[in-house]
Amino acid sequence: MDGPSDDQARRRFLATIHVGDVCHGTATEVTRHGVTVTLDGFPTRPLGTVGPLDRSWGRHPAAAVEVGSRITAEVIAVDVDEGRVQLSTAATENPELWAFLASLRRTDILTGAIAAIERFGVFVALDDGPDHPVFPGVGFITFPELSWRRFEAASDVVQVGRRVSCEFLQFDTWNGEARLSLRATQPDPFPAFADDTAVGRTLHGKVTKLVPFGVFVQVADGIEGLVPLRELTGTPVDAPEEVVQVGDEVTVVVTEIDRERRRMTLSRRQTSPEHHVMPNKGSLRSSGLRQREGSVGIELELHSGRPARGRSSRDTLVRGSYQHGETLARALSTLDRHSAGKLGWIDPYGDTLFNEQEAQAALQEVAALAQQCTDEHQKAALLDLAELLEACAATPGSYLWFIGD
């Protein structure tokens, strides 16, 4: 433990370091969580940290650093109280590209040509700025940002070589990319539809996709809603294909419209005349109020950026789910934590953060878990988790926070 003199020396040293400075040091520990660095000028103990998202943009960043390696990195954050300096080696390895990406502001319009279509998104070779050291383009569009309308393949929307104008969303410091949105430059059909559609309205549409937790139904051009599995029919079923198939025409009732998240929840079950309409739980989910079911559970919060602890975390809060605490914990407790993939990382007694890439990986695991689940309450909890994971995976820079008791 540091004595008073050590703490004062550390604070004096950190007071000389500022965001944007270039620091030098030696790697003292290398793990999957990042690199710990002893900074030149303060050999007493390591103060620098290069996080896993701030490493080299090369193909094999882990192989580039080992204990004893000399580190040159740019300071991206300083915490004097915690005695920590957050560093980025990507910034010093690619200074021109870093400076270009750091100069961009949200809603900037960037132009370029489609350079490659991959299974995880679309690369754009930008007209401005330097080339990427690895990828075919500095610009990157995730599939949800290609269009407001559903499509089967990215090639239905864009083709290699096509010229595009996109809105800048965020500087992805992990990959050295400009995250872009093509759909942001196009009219969004959802607001007008929401203005003319009230909860309780009956609609007719076509089933477009089956998922383990329900079905998607297209009710207008570019407008789809989710029918949760429990709302497909009055008789419980294990899989949506027991009731409907892709292409089926169905009648549904609107049970929730979320304008901010562009989501609509539907019910096929409630179109039955003998059905007794249950209270809508959507207002509870979107209220932002934390309501615990018991003393042990897992609450969920989707944040637009890395959340800070305490009251300031509300600045980044997009949506919370607090009504499934115990039930979600029970559903996840059935997993073998050593072989459960990303879901095995979740600590029911502490906090766990997923970034968008981790959320994408966990989304498939939740679908598989929901298929095996026989408890309807646990399925509902997993449905809510799947919705938040999908939103996190589709939102650049977002985080899903698992808050354990």
For residue 61, pLDDT over 60 is answered with no
Work out the pLDDT band at 292, boundaries 50, 70, 90. Answer: very low
Q: What would the DSSP string read from start to end of 342-369?
A: GGGG--TTSEEEEEHHHHHHHHHHHHHH
Quick one: pLDDT at residue 288?
Answer: 32
Q: How many CB atoms lie within 10 A of CB 34?
A: 18
Residues 236-282: tens digit of each pLDDT: 888 888 999 999 999 999 999 988 878 899 999 998 654 433 333 33
Please give the share of the chain, as a percent, with pLDDT higher than 90.
Answer: 38
Domain hosting 368: range is 286-404
Q: Identify whether 128 is part of a domain.
A: yes
CA distance 365 to 97: 36
Work out the pLDDT band at 350, boundaries 50, 70, 90. Answer: low
Average pLDDT over residues 388-396: 84
- Residue 296 sits in the same domain as residue 398: yes
- Residue 24 sits in the same domain as residue 114: no
Quick one: pLDDT at residue 100?
Answer: 95
- Residue 299 sits in the same domain as residue 394: yes
Domain boundary pick from 154, 185, 216: 185
For residue 325, pLDDT over 70 is answered with yes
- Residue 175 sits in the same domain as residue 210: no
Average pLDDT over residues 325-343: 69
Work out the pLDDT band at 3, boundaries 50, 70, 90. Answer: low
Average pLDDT over residues 101-113: 94
Cβ partners under 8 Å of residue 374, min gap 6 = 238
- Residue 128 sits in the same domain as residue 88: no
For residue 2, pLDDT over 70 is answered with no
Cβ partners under 8 Å of residue 136, min gap 6 = 115, 116, 123, 125
CA distance 368 to 389: 14
CATH number for the domain that contains residue 388: 3.40.1760
Domain boundary pick from 144, 162, 185: 185
- Residue 82 sits in the same domain as residue 106: no
- Residue 293 sits in the same domain as residue 345: yes
What total of structural domains would you count in the chain?
Answer: 4
For residue 102, pLDDT over 60 is answered with yes
- Residue 327 sits in the same domain as residue 370: yes
Q: Identify whether 13 is part of a domain.
A: no
Work out the pLDDT band at 405, boundaries 50, 70, 90. Answer: low
Quick one: pLDDT at residue 287?
Answer: 31
For residue 97, pLDDT over 70 is answered with yes
Check: CB of residue 28 under 8 Å from CB of residue 46: yes
CATH number for the domain that contains residue 35: 2.40.50.140
Quick one: pLDDT at residue 299?
Answer: 84
pTM: 0.56
Domain boundary pick from 185, 215, 241: 185
- Residue 142 sits in the same domain as residue 53: no
For residue 153, pLDDT over 80 is answered with yes
CA atoms in the 13 A half-sphere facing the CB of 335: 23
CA distance 375 to 398: 30
Mean pLDDT in the chain?
A: 82
Q: Identify whether 134 is part of a domain.
A: yes
Residue in 59, 64, 41 with CA at minimum distance from that of residue 50: 64
Quick one: pLDDT at residue 310?
Answer: 45
Quick one: pLDDT at residue 191?
Answer: 92
Work out the pLDDT band at 332, boundaries 50, 70, 90. Answer: confident
Q: Identify whether 9 is part of a domain.
A: no
Q: Identify whether 7 is part of a domain.
A: no
Tokens linked to 5? 């003199």
Q: Identify whether 5 is part of a domain.
A: no
Q: Identify whether 310 is part of a domain.
A: yes
Q: Identify whether 263 is part of a domain.
A: yes
- Residue 31 sits in the same domain as residue 128: no
Please give the share of the chain, as a percent, with pLDDT higher than 70.
Answer: 85
CA distances from 126 to 22, 100, 186, 397 (A): 28, 11, 19, 21
Q: What angle do CA 245, 243, 259 make, to 5 degrees?
A: 75
